[in-house]
Structure 1
Amino acid sequence: MFIHPLSVLSVLASGVLDCLVATPVEPRWDDVRTKHAWSAVPEHWETLGHPAAGTTIDLHIALEPQRKNAVVDALYDVSSPRSPKYGAHLSREQLADIVAPHPDTLALVVSWLKHHGVRPSSVSRSHGGGWLTVADVSMSQANSILSASYQLYRHAKTNETAIRTISYGLPVELHSHVKTVAPTTHFSSPRMSRHTPRVRRRAGTTAPAKAAAASVDLGRGLSRRDDMEPVTPSFLRWLYKTEGYKPAAIDRNKLGIAGFIGDSPSPLDLRLFMTANRADAETATFNVILINGGRYDPNTPSVEGNLDIQYTGAMAFPTPLTYYITGSESGTDPYLSWLNFMLSLDDKELPQTISTSYGGFEETLPPDLAKSVCELYAHLGVRGVSVLLSTGDFGVGKDCTDGSGNTRFRTMFPASCPWVTSVGGTMDCPEVGASLSGGGFSNLFSRPAYQGRAVATYLENLGSRYDGLYNANGRGIPDISAQAHQCVFVHRVEDFTAEGTSFAVPIAAGIVSLLNDYRLSKGRTPLGFLNYWLYDFGIANLGLNDIISGSNPGCNTDGFTASTGWDPVTGLGTLDFVELIHEL
């Protein structure tokens, strides 16, 4: 197994600014207006006072691009089968051209930073100049630059700490030029954002080899499985019709798994899992890449790390797997660190498919930060990457009270970003929607055009039920779904079963990776952003198993109900590999 330590900060540092030019007329830098603020310290967080003397952070500044909507337009061009440019994904350099800020924006922001004593050598650029990183900023300087009051905070439930401020501001002159600054007011706890599955030790088993005995006879006459029978890779490969496919482009096709907050997989557990559940894949392994201070210890694996690597591997073997472990050095938002690193990669280094099983409730994020991070996911799509994210395990919400005390269904970010493919959960055979399946409508992102017809049909049938509890104009999730109940896995050489969309995402990502393998083996480009393609076929009932029963209760309600077509429990349904390759 190859471990390749890399730092996202070193990548950012490679683009040092070479155009620090003051604007002709110095603006009023003291005319400051709030950019974002919380009315109080977010729930479960408590202040520990000022950070220790000498503490520094890196500030990441997102700039408005010169060409508005250029990324979304490019994403449609390369991702929609209706476009004459379908499949013509952009290179890193081509993407940089369309996301670059106006020279006046860059000059203005640089002038502001110089006004606050920022040394040119501490400023670097990424994403075509669309983001600036100011390295090693002292607490007093950060407070001055952002009219902030940074404190050290601790999360009462996880005991993790973070340097944050409950408000920050920018000069009025900059509000139309700067989209967001991080880290500032983002208090969402990464540990609480993990979609931790509900784990149960396998009754009567003491070693993973016994999992083989639980395998089901998957004759084509199977119509329904006993509720107590566990979900195994053999069943999944039969159910989604991938069992007869042998990957043919493993020299080009790659599958990535995003890991955060110290999650790590175990090579030993992977081998034991494959021995028990997919004997032809006993040699399965994976690479590890460390980002921004991420640490890997195979002797202390996490549940999340293990199940992610085991199910992507089981579905896509022998496709090469890479597990990306992202830390949070310098207080950087982990999603931002991971995206910065991935987008810095050369085109040949990028995996064509990525599985991510993390997220947090939308209202815990500053809207400007969420929207800026969402756009970076669009950057990956433009470059030909299929990104899949889980929708969470709380149905329509763990509770219905948002940060303002209003009663609303809750949706998860980044799954609610329109430029990723969100994955909900199913169970049983024939499949029904799993009650835990996160689903609903975004309060941050409006409904994208590709969803218009599918979601409108569902809402017409829903009528006035739940009026006021959700945003009827919001982006709907999930887009697709996969099995998420009674899944077997191996953890620290013991057998377990668990449920959660943390299983659904690697299962779906494994299928998508096989679709990308098929395209690459035929000399075509990878699928890239999936949703334009999926909704075309979903509406036409091609290549997707429509799930028409099940619901996702929460917030003291029955939640939404699965139905014909798209629904906010299972999306368009589950993937039928054989039917989909006929459409490639």
Structure 2
Amino acid sequence: MRFHPLSVLSALAFAPLSGLATHFESHWDDLREKHTWNSIPENWQNMGHPPADTTIDLHIALKAKNENALIDALIEVSSPGHPKHGEHLSREEVAELVAPPSDVLELANAWLEHHGVHPSTISTKHGGSWLTLMGVPVSRANELLRASYQLYQHVETNDTVLRTLSYRLPAALVEHVQNVAPTTHFGFPRTPRQEPLMHRGRATTEQTKVLGGEPGTVLSSRDQDVTPSSLRSFYKTSRYVPLAAGWNMLGVAGYNDDWPSPDDLRHFMNHYRFDATDATYRLVQIKGGGYSPNNPTNEANVNIQYTSAIAYPTTNIFYSTGGSETVGDPFINWLNHVLGLLSVPQTVSTPYGMPEHTVPPDYATHVCNLFAQLGARGVSVLFSTGNDGVGRGNCLVQDSSGNSRVQFTPNFPSTCAYGPWVTSVGGTTGYNPEIAASLSGGGFSVHFPRPSYQNNVVPTFLLNLGGQYDGLYNPGGRGVPDIALQAMNFPIVFKNELWEVSGTSASTPTAAGIISLLNDYRISNGRPPLGFLNVLLYGICLEGLNDITSGSNPGCNTDGFSAVPGWDPVTGLGSLDFERLVAILSRW
């Protein structure tokens, strides 16, 4: 435990925390900076102060009494050969591992009480590591955090958020708090910028024979549609019949008023998966998440249509998650809900993200640690790496001094975290050979260091890269993606019309569908689900992947990185071969 080097704290450095709440009552105004932006983050504009009666929900994340306990447990249950491999933890076991010291929880509650936050408005979850303050007046939030909450609007999307450019915490607490949200994190989860939708016509049953999807179809050129049957044939899942559909679940996360249409899903299956026309999904609405099935989005449709088409009849759950200027951060709202469940989906597809440099480090660490909790409970979480190659536009970012420089910009949370705790999915195109899709996001994290299991593959790539792009990326950072699958020319049904989409928001649900089938195989044979994937992918499952050795991901006015033999920051380790992976996993 670290103490702030104030004289008052130094004097108590070796004293128990019990009773510190009373001692520090007169020191609550001794504040220390937690995070500050030097200027308004890019693409946001200040819209002024909110109305006087505005309230906000605040989430306070406290650090665990043993910050390594969860990480150690996750690595143990995820590592083949370890005695605890596959012994995923329960909700209560995870909560115990992440619980803060009881005296720190007492201290935090005393601080809140000092500022007039009534205990009845505080919800304590996840072993006390997560305090949620409901309906806090903005004036009180400003006093509590020495903040200046104002309304900000995104110049491109018109999203409006209630945020502050800085916040502070009492010196007695600052080292014990991981993050407070929403504060200085401005970004909303965004789907990758897709290639423009291409209209294909009405989704009438008379078009089925023309628009394809016949069983056994495979890709023969880079210009043909990538239908579910071609994906199932190419990645070798077409002969597998799921047997654990009643126990195995596949979650699809939706944000920003994204939700699918059951009618579009039915029409899609009538075209492209004739044996699955009764496919459906279960809808869960979280924190104000909406649902109007007659007004779906193409993003939600491509997700649910391809997870369903690959993994049918596996149970699909679509999470419509809210997030606004007052009800908090969408990622945290979703994680708070799922981590509170007794039974969690074994696989989750999340094709959302944001440029990592726009995310405060304390927020990023907090969110990634929450995904680590899911991994410890046996959940395989997949995130897309985006559709901007190594970065969008000229890639000018501001450093801590406010100076601008060019920097490759990978997407968060695909860069999560110390482990990292999610599997990132890039894009490919073509068949025989499969090559990198030029839009495939990839690169190296600035926030998070390279995980140990990448040490066998990433240094080889960097050695061969030589000095190219020195200064534009962090060679010691976590490399993304981990894997890559088909990302171009996906037909979907959208409002009863046939369209074509491209992007890693298509490759990610495809990958999630295949992983869900692997989980089905494991569960139906009395074995635990895969859980956190990356230790497996970089280890025993490496021989079950198709290496991609050509193509590149240009961006930032450069040619980007190139796909090469072995791992690369365009296609990762390659694409999935279901049958080879089943053969490997049958031995574990």
In the alignment, which residue of structure 1 is the partner of 2:196?
199
In the alignment, which residue of structure 2 is the partner of 1:476?
479
Q: 1:32 to 1:211 in 2, by over 3 A?
A: farther
Q: Tell me how far 1:423 sits from its aligned partner.
A: 0.3
In the alignment, which residue of structure 1 is the partner of 2:291?
296
In the alignment, which residue of structure 2 is the partner of 1:361?
355
Q: Secondary structure at the match of 2:84?
A: coil
Corresponding residue to 2:229 among 234, 246, 249: 234
- 2:314 aligned with 1:326, yes or no? no
Q: Tell me how far 1:496 sits from its aligned partner.
A: 1.0
- 2:220 aligned with 1:210, yes or no? no
In the alignment, which residue of structure 1 is the partner of 2:302?
307
- 2:363 aligned with 1:346, yes or no? no
Measure the CA separation in 1 of the matches of 2:559 and 2:301: 32
Q: Tell me how far 1:249 sits from its aligned partner.
A: 0.5
Q: 1:218 to 1:570 in 2, by over 3 A?
A: farther
In the alignment, which residue of structure 2 is the partner of 1:176?
175
**Structure 1 segment 134-283 matched on structure 2, within 5 A:** 134-190=133-189, 193-203=190-200, 207=204, 210=207, 212-215=209-212, 225-283=220-278
- Contact 2:216–2:230 under 8 Å retained in 1: no
Q: 1:21 to 1:172 in 2, by over 3 A?
A: closer
- Contact 1:481–1:571 under 8 Å retained in 2: yes
Corresponding residue to 1:337 among 312, 330, 333: 333
CA deviation vs aligned residue, 1:387-409 (integer Å, no higher than 9, x gap): 00000000000032113312110
- Contact 1:208–1:490 under 8 Å retained in 2: no
Q: Secondary structure at the match of 1:25?
A: helix
Q: Secondary structure at the match of 1:296?
A: coil
CA deviation vs aligned residue, 1:94-116 (integer Å, no higher than 9, x gap): 11111100112112211211111
**Pairwise CA RMSD:** 1.8
Measure the CA separation in 1 of the matches of 2:267 and 2:97: 47
Q: 1:282 to 1:206 in 2, by over 3 A?
A: closer
Q: Secondary structure at the match of 1:114?
A: helix
In the alignment, which residue of structure 1 is the partner of 2:11?
none
User: Aligned partner of 1:376: which letter?
Assistant: L
Q: Secondary structure at the match of 2:241?
A: coil
Measure the CA separation in 2 of the matches of 1:341 and 1:33: 31
Q: Tell me how far 1:87 sits from its aligned partner.
A: 0.3
- Contact 1:48–1:154 under 8 Å retained in 2: yes
In the alignment, which residue of structure 2 is the partner of 1:130?
129
Q: 1:453 to 1:208 in 2, by over 3 A?
A: farther
- 2:79 aligned with 1:85, yes or no? no
Q: Tell me how far 1:196 sits from its aligned partner.
A: 3.9
User: Aligned partner of 1:520: which letter?
Assistant: I
Measure the CA separation in 1 of the matches of 2:203 and 2:275: 23
Corresponding residue to 2:368 among 362, 370, 374: 374
Measure the CA separation in 2 of the matches of 1:121 and 1:426: 52
Measure the CA separation in 2 of the matches of 1:65 and 1:583: 36
Q: Tell me how far 1:133 sits from its aligned partner.
A: 0.9
**Structure 1 segment 452-467 matched on structure 2, within 5 A:** 452-467=455-470
Task: Give the aligned length.
Answer: 558
- Contact 2:203–2:267 under 8 Å retained in 1: no
Q: Secondary structure at the match of 1:170?
A: strand
Q: Secondary structure at the match of 2:303?
A: helix
Q: Tell me how far 1:219 sits from its aligned partner.
A: 6.5
Measure the CA separation in 2 of the matches of 1:490 and 1:239: 22
User: Aligned partner of 1:134: which letter?
Assistant: L
CA deviation vs aligned residue, 1:221-267 (integer Å, no higher than 9, x gap): x7x62332111011000000000000000110010100001001011
* TM-score, normalising length: structure 1: 0.93
Corresponding residue to 1:26 among 24, 33, 41: 24
CA deviation vs aligned residue, 1:66-94 (integer Å, no higher than 9, x gap): 01211111110111113111100000011
Measure the CA separation in 1 of the matches of 2:564 and 2:442: 13
- Contact 1:21–1:110 under 8 Å retained in 2: no
Q: Secondary structure at the match of 2:275?
A: helix
* TM-score, normalising length: structure 2: 0.92
Q: Tell me how far 1:208 sits from its aligned partner.
A: 6.6
In the alignment, which residue of structure 1 is the partner of 2:536?
533
In the alignment, which residue of structure 1 is the partner of 2:405?
406
- Contact 1:258–1:356 under 8 Å retained in 2: yes
User: Aligned partner of 1:26: which letter?
Assistant: F
- Contact 1:426–1:482 under 8 Å retained in 2: yes
Q: 1:117 to 1:206 in 2, by over 3 A?
A: closer
Q: Secondary structure at the match of 2:222?
A: coil
In the alignment, which residue of structure 2 is the partner of 1:440?
443
User: Aligned partner of 1:98: which letter?
Assistant: L
**Structure 1 segment 90-129 matched on structure 2, within 5 A:** 90-129=89-128
Q: Tell me how far 1:206 sits from its aligned partner.
A: 6.2
Measure the CA separation in 2 of the matches of 1:546 and 1:214: 30
- Contact 1:208–1:493 under 8 Å retained in 2: no
Mean Cα displacement is larger for which, 438-447 or 210-219?
210-219
Q: 1:26 to 1:448 in 2, by over 3 A?
A: same
Q: Secondary structure at the match of 2:139?
A: helix
Measure the CA separation in 1 of the matches of 2:559 and 2:61: 40
Q: Secondary structure at the match of 2:456?
A: helix
Mean Cα displacement is larger for which, 23-32 or 332-341?
23-32
- Contact 2:222–2:429 under 8 Å retained in 1: no
Q: Tell me how far 1:485 sits from its aligned partner.
A: 0.5
Q: Secondary structure at the match of 1:158?
A: coil
CA deviation vs aligned residue, 1:543-583 (integer Å, no higher than 9, x gap): 10111111100011111111111110111111100000111
Q: Secondary structure at the match of 1:23?
A: helix
- Contact 1:308–1:506 under 8 Å retained in 2: yes
Q: Tell me how far 1:202 sits from its aligned partner.
A: 4.3
Measure the CA separation in 1 of the matches of 2:114 and 2:558: 54
- Contact 2:348–2:382 under 8 Å retained in 1: yes
Mean Cα displacement is larger for which, 41-50 or 403-412?
41-50
Q: 1:21 to 1:250 in 2, by over 3 A?
A: farther
Q: Tell me how far 1:325 sits from its aligned partner.
A: 0.4
User: Aligned partner of 1:549: which letter?
Assistant: S
User: Aligned partner of 1:361: which letter?
Assistant: P
Corresponding residue to 1:395 among 389, 392, 395: 389
Q: 1:211 to 1:460 in 2, by over 3 A?
A: farther
Q: Secondary structure at the match of 1:174?
A: coil
In the alignment, which residue of structure 2 is the partner of 1:54?
53
Mean Cα displacement is larger for which, 324-333 or 369-378?
324-333
Q: Secondary structure at the match of 1:272?
A: helix
Mean Cα displacement is larger for which, 230-239 or 200-209?
200-209
Measure the CA separation in 2 of the matches of 1:337 and 1:433: 34
Measure the CA separation in 1 of the matches of 2:158 and 2:93: 43
- 2:429 aligned with 1:427, yes or no? yes
- Contact 1:58–1:134 under 8 Å retained in 2: yes
- 2:494 aligned with 1:516, yes or no? no
Q: 1:544 to 1:136 in 2, by over 3 A?
A: same
Q: Tell me how far 1:218 sits from its aligned partner.
A: 7.6
Q: Tell me how far 1:207 sits from its aligned partner.
A: 3.8
In the alignment, which residue of structure 2 is the partner of 1:4?
none
